[in-house]
Structure 1
């Protein structure tokens, strides 16, 4: 999660920018945030990375990666591979791409209230269970590598998610933990909480 527009804070809070980003296309069936964000916390896909956005009872049409391939994946819930977010948006360009992918969901199963539900304890619990996620990634990769064109393309997302878990995700979660504890992002040099 990169710096905000001012270059000061190390965590960029995308929620303040959501309303200004709509509508992308007034002729779409879901032209406003109220039409897109109907997902419920209780229905969220456990694979979503902690943060403000999450997929909950999304479609299984596999459209998210068309708009934001470094953010969306699909995962084995509700008798289909529903969409989830494996990387939160880090800047306004990411947010635009992610919101376009969310707007394409015919079930309107996305939510933007993760900051209300995630607690430092839940973030740490999610991170502590990452081996379950890594096992799922490995299993899905073995299955999708021999699948149809869309499945083979999604393998690149699995590999990206795995690389993100191995490299930058822990630090991004530390920034998010700071944000949850303080209501704003940390400045450079501030000690971050452990994940």
Structure 2
């Protein structure tokens, strides 16, 4: 998979309607501020398990709602019941889903300013340490797969998806993201992308 920039779609979709956990849609409250609410502390508080890219969770308190809306992108962490972005959106539908998951967070802990903070050096450092994230996701899968409640078993599937993403297309995606950070645009077909 090559890099797809979700931010143009996010700016179009942010005012809704956004998906909600019950399968319906709703219009976000403009007073909420959401992803665009300037909170400089969010980047410093981002969870280490977020994959590099524009979207990330930082001190979220989701009550396990995000995977009901964005299972292809969001994973629950197991220590504070928060959420992390394990796969950046790959199309407008996933972007809309991530925005919906973010809008459900009562403490507004999601952000979409990662492009302003990630550098090629930070992305490469995250990639070099990906084994730590992978080990956590494998352990989380083991922990939740055997639980009786459906919520934990479903969440274990998210952990497995994260491991598959790390082992599969994530490296190619991050090479495209490095290009985006350096050039200010996604790579076009046939362009050489940086190495990790």
Superposition TM-score, scaled by structure 2 size = 0.87
Q: 1:115 to 1:68 in 2, by over 3 A?
A: same
CA drift of 1:25 comes to 4.4
Closer, same or farther: CA 161–21 of 1 in aligned 2, 3 Å? same
Q: Is the 8 A contact 1:25 1:31 kept in 2?
A: no
1:163 and 1:30 map into 2 onto residues whose CA distance is 33
Q: Which residue of 2 is the match for residue 51 of structure 1? A: 53
* Local SS of the residue matching 1:98: helix
Where in structure 2 are there 5+ consecutive unaligned residues?
19-24
Please identify runs of 4+ aligned residues in structure 1 that moved more than 3 A.
Answer: 25-30
Q: CA deviation at 1:97?
A: 1.1
SS at match of 1:178: helix
Matching residue of 1:71 = 73
User: Where in structure 2 are the equivalents of 1:176-187 lying within 5 Å?
Assistant: 176-187=177-188
Which 5+ residue runs of structure 1 have no aligned equivalent?
A: 2-9
Three-state SS of the structure 1 residue aligned to 2:33 is: helix
Q: Distance in 2 between matches of 1:102 and 1:41?
A: 15
What SS does structure 1 have at the residue aligned with 2:84? Answer: strand
The worse-fitting range, judged by mean Cα deviation, of 142-151 and 162-171 is 142-151
Q: Distance in 1 between matches of 2:150 and 2:27?
A: 28
TM-score between both structures, scaled by the size of structure 1: 0.87
In the other structure, the counterpart of 2:13 is 21
Asked if the contact 2:60/2:107 (under 8 Å) is kept, the reply is yes
Task: Give the 5 Å matches for 1:1-195.
Answer: 10-25=2-17, 30-32=28-30, 35-37=33-35, 38=37, 40-77=42-79, 80-147=80-147, 148-195=149-196
* Length, aligned pairs only: 185
Partner Cα separation in structure 1 for residue 177 and residue 30 of structure 2: 26
Cα separation, partners in 2 of 1:125 and 1:95, compared to 1, 3 Å? same
